[in-house]
């Protein structure tokens, strides 16, 4: 049974607590493999052996070769290394990103623009899914690189990665996929995907913060972005986090053994949509949506959108953790750029909330959350969202 704090924590798309099994695995490694894995003495060799053991475990689980896995400090670094490292080996041209990318990808794209690249945005539909016709029109010279979020963090949409990858391969264009929200929630084999680079992070699947990975297709040139000791085959300098990587390997191993969170998510969503004023944003449950993810637009009794930030605070006062917008965004605007890109008005784009589940949640936890949301909307009558003219 989960602790009361975990039972009411519905913000796993922002981060998850490390599982007890992950903490135990890391403690075991800490006691035996604490040294620098580049050192040639006994403790260093023990750390190097543990590092490669974790790398081999991850490679097996992710369906890639061990040499294709680059250890990073997290998803943001992995995304920057993918875009900047791959682009450094190419002539500047056009790079494509979607209109619903994570701020980390947007930031890396800005860096490329400063280096002479032409950054263009692929539009999405009302569910946040890529416009493939627009992509087809843009997959012509001088396009050389595409970066696409696989599982959208705010509205839960799963982009058609296979269809995009086939198009990119035919056009001779490199494809990077941000799989931070997908890793540990949906199984995949890197060698079976038409993808050149794929980034992920440990803390979204009950692993530790501070470690992530970038999968790089064998033979693809990648320029490291950090100078130093030349670790990770010269692709990422810095002493490898042996203990953290062991935690990531254990977390992914455990995630593959868990049943889909959709078994809890789907009945919870039905309860939430029965609340007046709550409607789904993003795709319906199924193959186009992350299995642990719910996103809502919330309106008051008069039909006007309510503030998502207000609702997050009101739910927090009842002990429930949900979110509004991206946890990684520092934007001062209440309106979500993702929802705006999907065609929402500014008021609607300020009314979004996200509910994301963990493997510890039970149907009773979902019922308690739905009851709290209904109570909040019934008892409170805040004013409508103010928009800027």
Rounded to an integer, what distance in angstroms lies between the CA atom of residue 33 and that of residue 245? 12
CB 226 within 8 A of CB 198: no
Rounded to an integer, what distance in angstroms lies between the CA atom of residue 80 and that of residue 112? 10
Grouping H, G, I as helix, E, B as strand and the rest as coil, residue 199 is strand
Rounded to an integer, what distance in angstroms lies between the CA atom of residue 179 and that of residue 192? 15
Catalytic residue list contains 64: no
Q: Which of 54, 44, 57 is CA-nearest to residue 243?
A: 54
Rounded to an integer, what distance in angstroms lies between the CA atom of residue 221 and that of residue 145? 13
Residue of 64, 168, 328, 344 marked active site: 328
Rounded to an integer, what distance in angstroms lies between the CA atom of residue 345 and that of residue 239? 47
CB 208 within 8 A of CB 26: yes
Cα dihedral: 156, 270, 350, 288 (round 10): 20
Q: Across the strands, what pairs with 354?
A: 295, 323
Q: Catalytic positions, please?
A: 328
């Amino acid at each position: 049974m989960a602790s009361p704090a975990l039972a009411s924590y519905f913000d796993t798309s922002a981060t998850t607590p490390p599982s007890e099994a992950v903490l135990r695995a890391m403690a075991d490694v800490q006691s035996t493999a604490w040294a620098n894995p580049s050192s040639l003495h006994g403790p260093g060799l023990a750390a190097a052996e543990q590092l490669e053991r974790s790398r081999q475990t991850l490679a097996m689980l992710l369906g890639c070769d061990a040499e294709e896995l680059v250890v990073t400090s997290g998803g943001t670094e992995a995304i920057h290394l993918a875009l900047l490292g791959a682009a450094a080996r190419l002539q500047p041209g056009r790079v494509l990103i979607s209109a619903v990318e994570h701020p980390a990808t947007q930031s890396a794209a800005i860096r490329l623009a400063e280096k002479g690249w032409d950054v263009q945005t692929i539009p999405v539909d009302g569910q946040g899914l890529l416009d493939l016709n627009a992509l087809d029109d843009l997959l012509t010279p001088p396009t050389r690189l595409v970066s696409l979020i696989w599982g959208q963090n705010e509205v839960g949409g799963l982009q058609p990665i296979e269809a995009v990858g086939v198009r990119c391969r035919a056009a001779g264009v490199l494809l990077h996929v941000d799989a931070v929200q997908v890793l540990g929630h949906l199984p995949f084999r890197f060698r079976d995907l038409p993808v050149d680079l794929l980034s992920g992070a440990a803390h979204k699947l009950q692993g530790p913060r501070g470690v992530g990975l970038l999968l790089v297709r064998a033979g693809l040139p990648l320029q490291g972005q950090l100078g130093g000791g030349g670790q990770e085959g010269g692709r990422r300098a810095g002493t490898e986090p042996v203990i953290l990587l062991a935690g990531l390997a254990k977390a992914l191993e455990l995630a593959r053994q868990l049943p889909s969170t959709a078994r809890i998510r789907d009945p919870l969503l039905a309860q939430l949509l029965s609340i007046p004023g709550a409607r789904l944003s993003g795709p319906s449950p199924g193959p186009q949506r992350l299995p642990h993810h719910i996103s809502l637009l919330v309106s008051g009794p008069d039909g006007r959108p309510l503030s998502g930030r207000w609702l997050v605070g009101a739910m927090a006062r009842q002990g429930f953790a949900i979110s509004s917008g991206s946890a990684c965004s520092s934007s001062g605007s209440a309106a979500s750029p993702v929802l705006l890109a999907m065609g929402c008005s500014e008021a609607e784009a300020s009314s979004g909330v996200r509910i994301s589940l963990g493997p510890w949640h039970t149907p009773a936890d979902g019922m308690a959350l739905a009851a709290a949301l209904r109570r909040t909307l019934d008892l409170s009558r805040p004013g409508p969202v103010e928009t800027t003219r």
